């Protein structure tokens, strides 16, 4: 497997070496191509990606399309597949070598895939909360995708282009500085962002998450029936499932339990299934895929400590569009739910002990706890440059931690190098050029997203079939 990855990586390195000549001779990097309208292509990409789910939840795809019309950032959130289609053809970074061309990526790195949460050791932290697209690829893809999201969000919040680019540079400085801190240490293994080492919007987010409670989560989604048993409420977002679906999910619980490492596994009574609902309307990019809430017994027979599991249908990672077969399917048993659980374990510390996977009616799912202590990152609060600069610096540290913790320290059979050392060394002495490369890419690609968004909205308004 490593030999195969190395062969692919060497081709990327060769491209990077050629591009490095341009840096030396021309004084700048060339990792972009001119943004251009491409309406027919965009319509086709959106249709091809979403049509595969049209037969199962068409109403959810309708919701997805409507959500994507709201802003260019919302459109960007829902079209990671387009981003990676472009990564297939856009020039590589000159700051990628064989050791940094196949690392664990979050895959859909944007600001709303960060948030406040409580880890399994009861630490209230700011971290990444979605690994559905987790896969291997060049580390700069996570940085590029985040940088573009920063520009789109900053523009939406009324900040100038100059200020937005400064914010991207701050994100990159934070990333590089934290990678340098990690180099030669094991600090990444225990590193976390808490209220004690954060400020501003991020500190407030962590505090908000810490003030949440299990009772409030259960009150939001469940109720006690006439017999005193806890069941789900039925609402527009929580819908009953067919009896056959209920039976199929119930039958998959044993395989889900078996997917959890024995050291983290509770007694079987903990996983006793009490109720199921189809969850509608969550997220953007994942709309159209099945998502269920499962109510389980939890640590006791009392009704106040029941747990809610979120069960998400998984498909192949969008990153694999640009780097097909870079993560051999043997690593995750050709099960996309297993891929997501592995990616989550690679990039997070103190992971949810209920994280696992199962197959229902030949569809792969990932399961984890619907945590009572989770709050999404609301980028609309970043109304000034200073607020944005402060918050995005923490995002840079989180991405650095993701990359550093998931290298050989997690599984040397997948990644044999120290990513924090490799990234620090390859950028050393050329930080300004590195930042210029990423910023130039982000500025150009954000323009491309705006073109694509306009094409999409026009198609949507004209009634073009998009799924």
For residue range 448-466, list pLDDT tens digits in order. Answer: 999 999 999 999 999 999 9
- Compute the mean pLDDT over every residue in the chain, rounded to the nearest whole number: 94
Taking residues 17-39, what's their average pLDDT? Answer: 58
Q: How far apart are CA 406 and CA 402, in angstroms?
A: 6
pLDDT value for 18: 34
How many other CB atoms sit within 10 Å of the CB of residue 162? 9
Using CA atoms, how far residue 419 sits from 179, 181, 184, 253, 325, in Å, is 8, 12, 11, 37, 20
Which residues of 119-159 form beta strands (DSSP E)? 124-128, 135-137
Would you call 117 helix, strand, or coil by DSSP? Answer: strand
For residue range 220-277, list pLDDT tens digits in order. Answer: 999 999 999 999 999 999 999 999 999 999 999 999 999 999 999 999 999 999 999 9
Res. 10 pLDDT band, cuts 50 70 90: very low
Residue 92 is classified by DSSP as P
Check pLDDT > 50 for residue 189: yes
Pairing type for strands 307-313 and 363-369 reads antiparallel
Q: How far apart are CA 222 and CA 229, in angstroms?
A: 10
Res. 30 pLDDT band, cuts 50 70 90: low
Res. 33 pLDDT band, cuts 50 70 90: confident
Instruction: Name the pTM for this structure.
Output: 0.93
pLDDT value for 149: 98
Q: How far apart are CA 151 and CA 168, in angstroms?
A: 8
């Amino acid at each position: 497997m490593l030999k195969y990855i190395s062969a692919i990586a060497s081709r990327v390195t060769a491209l990077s070496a050629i591009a490095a000549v341009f840096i030396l001779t021309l004084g700048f990097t060339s990792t972009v191509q001119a943004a251009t309208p491409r309406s027919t292509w965009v319509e086709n990409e959106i249709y091809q990606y979403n049509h595969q789910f049209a037969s199962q939840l068409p109403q959810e795809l309708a919701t997805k399309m409507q959500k994507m019309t709201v802003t260019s950032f919302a459109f960007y959130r829902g079209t990671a597949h387009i981003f990676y289609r472009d990564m297939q053809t856009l020039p590589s970074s000159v700051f990628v070598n064989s050791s940094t061309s196949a690392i664990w990526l979050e895959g859909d790195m944007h600001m709303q895939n960060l948030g406040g949460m409580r880890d399994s050791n009861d630490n209230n932290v700011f971290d990444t909360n979605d690994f559905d697209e987790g896969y291997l690829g060049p580390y700069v893809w996570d940085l590029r995708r985040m940088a573009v999201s920063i520009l789109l969000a900053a523009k939406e919040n009324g900040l100038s282009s100059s200020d937005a680019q400064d914010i991207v540079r701050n994100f990159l400085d934070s990333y590089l500085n934290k990678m340098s801190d990690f180099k030669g240490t094991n600090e990444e293994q225990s590193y976390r962002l808490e209220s004690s080492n954060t400020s501003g919007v991020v500190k407030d987010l962590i505090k908000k998450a810490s003030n949440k409670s299990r009772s409030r989560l259960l009150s939001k989604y469940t109720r006690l029936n006439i017999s005193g048993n806890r069941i789900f409420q039925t609402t527009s977002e929580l819908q009953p499932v067919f009896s056959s679906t209920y039976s199929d999910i119930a039958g998959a619980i044993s395989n889900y339990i078996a997917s959890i490492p024995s050291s983290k596994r509770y007694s079987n009574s903990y996983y006793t299934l009490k109720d199921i609902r189809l969850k509608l309307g969550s997220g953007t990019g994942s709309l159209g895929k099945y998502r269920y809430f499962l109510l389980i017994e939890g640590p006791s027979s009392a009704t106040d400590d029941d747990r809610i599991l979120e069960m998400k249908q998984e498909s192949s990672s969008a990153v694999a569009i640009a780097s097909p077969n870079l993560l051999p399917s043997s690593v995750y048993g050709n099960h996309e739910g297993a891929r997501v659980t592995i990616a989550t374990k690679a990039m997070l510390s103190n992971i949810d002990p209920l994280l696992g996977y199962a197959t229902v009616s030949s569809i792969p799912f990932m399961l984890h706890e619907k945590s009572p202590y989770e709050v999404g990152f609301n980028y609309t609060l970043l109304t000034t440059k200073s607020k944005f600069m402060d918050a995005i610096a923490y995002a840079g540290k989180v991405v650095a931690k993701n990359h550093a913790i998931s290298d050989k320290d997690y599984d040397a059979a997948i990644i044999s190098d120290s990513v924090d050392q490799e990234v620090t060394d390859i950028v050393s002495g050329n930080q300004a050029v590195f930042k210029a490369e990423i910023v130039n890419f982000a500025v150009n690609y954000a323009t491309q997203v705006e073109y694509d968004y306009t094409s999409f909205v026009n198609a949507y308004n004209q009634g073009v079939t998009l799924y």
